Amino acid sequence: MRLILASTSPARLALLRAAGVEPEVVPSAVDEPATVAQAERVRGRPLTAAEMVLLLARAKAEAVSGRRPAASEDALLLGGDSAFELDGAVYGKPGTAAVARERWIRQRGRTGVLYSGHWLIDLREGAGTGARLDSGRGKVTSASVQFAADLTDAEIDAYVATGEPLAVAGAFTIDSLGGPFIERIEGDPSTVVGLSLPTLRRLVRACGVEWTDLWSPRRPHDAIG
């Protein structure tokens, strides 16, 4: 059984590979700000962080599904998205060094919540594109993240200068250079990376597929070290 990943996130790809899964990566090309803005106009209010990540995860999965051949495939297709919430404000990728630095100054010594949305489409369901667009299973997970209170301005500047926080939700990572600046995590750590592995396992099993069927030919422990 193949897994198609509708995401170009290096962190999600690395997480899946470490868990023994070698997905086919297909960019979704979804206009995220426009998708969120449209949903907010329809609802007449801002989306919550949980609503936003589920909406975008689904949009990414359906965008890729809609471009696949009409014939059914022996594959599952996963869309994912993440956002960070602090004091009721929802943050995605900062995009610029100035914004990333401002966010780190604000969140230093504090605790926020990282949300990750998942949308899984079984490409074996229905031979036509229209049937696929109506299928899928979604789930949002969250984990609280406490940032180090003794983080210095010099450390923040050095971290921002690496460019790493500019392209990740909340302007931080736990599995790379940002890890030493995180004091504590409550919840599934892989949620903070951008993809909850336990949640994905349950979504896969809900499709009638065993998680181990997604393992690449090499054994899982071969993917580490």
Tens digit of each residue's pLDDT (9 = 90 or more) over 67-85: 877 666 789 999 999 999 9
What residue segments make up the domains of the chain, in order of their start? 2-223
81 flagged as catalytic: yes
Topology (CATH) of 2-223: Maf protein (3.90.950)
What rounded mean pLDDT belongs to the chain? 90
- Structure confidence by residue, pLDDT tens digits, 117-155: 999 999 986 534 444 444 689 999 999 999 999 999 999
> Which pLDDT score is estimated for 67?
86
Q: Give the predicted TM-score (pTM) of the model.
A: 0.89
**Which of the residues 81, 87, 122, 175 is marked catalytic?**
81
* Three-state SS letters, the chain: CEEEECCCCHHHHHHHHHCCECCEECCCCCCHHHHHHHHHHHHCCCCCHHHHHHHHHHHHHHHHHHCCCCCCCCEEEEEEEEEEEECCEEECCCCCHHHHHHHHHHHCCCEEEEEEEEEEEECCCCCCHHHHHCCCEEEEEEEEEEECCCCCHHHHHHHHHCCHHHHCHHHCCCCCCCHHHEEEEECCHHHHHCCCHHHHHHHHHHCCCCHHHHECCCCHHHHCC
- Structure confidence by residue, pLDDT tens digits, 36-54: 999 999 999 999 999 999 9
The answer, yes or no, to whether residue 187 has pLDDT greater than 70, is yes
